[in-house]
Structure 1
């Protein structure tokens, strides 16, 4: 019970924090991610500022912008490890490779699923997907290190030998 109430939520929060840190570092170090992040933040910031100053009551606009940022952060950084953790607990999957690959692939696939159009991807889009996949892999690895090794609770103990030295 303690596992479900404390360990798993704490592991998910730490995994989301680790993936956030990785994505931030990737956005600073990687030129493609830096350009995408910088352009997105710059354009988004000025559109937001223009909207706030042209509105009589900017409260709803600020709330909607904060909600939109929270949705994107949840979808990219928290949802993939959460989904993999729930599935892993249900099927008692405990492998580090499972957590790393499952969260990584799911995180990399989210923009493609949301986009919904069938067209050939540009090299920059594939690069961003690779960075998102690595971001998810970091989250999966951190979650596994904290809570995934014991997924599904304790395994049943083998039957003890019967008196007299014969096994059942």
Structure 2
């Protein structure tokens, strides 16, 4: 019971933090991600500033901006490890490859699923999907290292045994 109350939420928080750190580093180090991130932040910041200064009451604009950023963060960094963790508990998966692969594939597929069009992606889009897949794989591996190895085992199977038994 402690596993479901403390260990799994703790493992998810650490996994989400690790994948966020990985995506931040990838957004700085990787040339394609750096250009994408820089352009997005620059355009987004100036559009936000223009909207705030042109509005009589900027409160709703600021709230909407925070909600949009929250939805993006939830969709890319929180939802995939959460879904894989719940699914893994149900099917009692314990493989690190499963956690890394399922979370990585789901995270990489999210932009394609949300787009909804069936077309071949450009090399830049495929590169971003690859980096998002690695981000998800980091989350899956960190979650597995903390809580996934014991997924689906009974408490008696995970209890330490004494040398005399």
TM-score bucket (shorter structure): over 0.9
Hey, what's the Cα distance between the residues in 1 that align with 2:156 and 2:2? 19
Which residue pairs with 1:70 in the alignment?
A: 70
Larger Cα-atom Rg: 1
Structure-2-length-normalised TM-score: 0.93
Q: Give 1:155 deviation, angstroms.
A: 7.3
Hey, what's the Cα distance between the residues in 2 that align with 1:22 and 1:76? 13
Q: Give 1:153 deviation, angstroms.
A: 3.6
Q: How does 1:1-168 map to 2 (within 5 A)?
A: 1-154=1-154
Structure-1-length-normalised TM-score: 0.91
Q: Give 1:54 deviation, angstroms.
A: 0.5
Hey, what's the Cα distance between the residues in 2 that align with 1:147 and 1:41? 35
Hey, what's the Cα distance between the residues in 2 that align with 1:83 and 1:152? 16
Hey, what's the Cα distance between the residues in 2 that align with 1:138 and 1:154? 27
Gaps of 5+ in 1: 158-168
Deviations 1:90-124 (A, max 9, x none): 01000000000000000000000000111111000
Which residue pairs with 2:161 in the alignment?
A: none
Hey, what's the Cα distance between the residues in 2 that align with 1:132 and 1:143? 17
Hey, what's the Cα distance between the residues in 1 that align with 2:153 and 2:75? 27
Hey, what's the Cα distance between the residues in 1 that align with 2:45 and 2:126? 26
Q: Give 1:156 deviation, angstroms.
A: 7.3
Q: Which runs of 4+ in 1 moved over 2 A?
A: none
Gaps of 5+ in 2: 158-165
* CA RMSD after TM alignment: 1.1
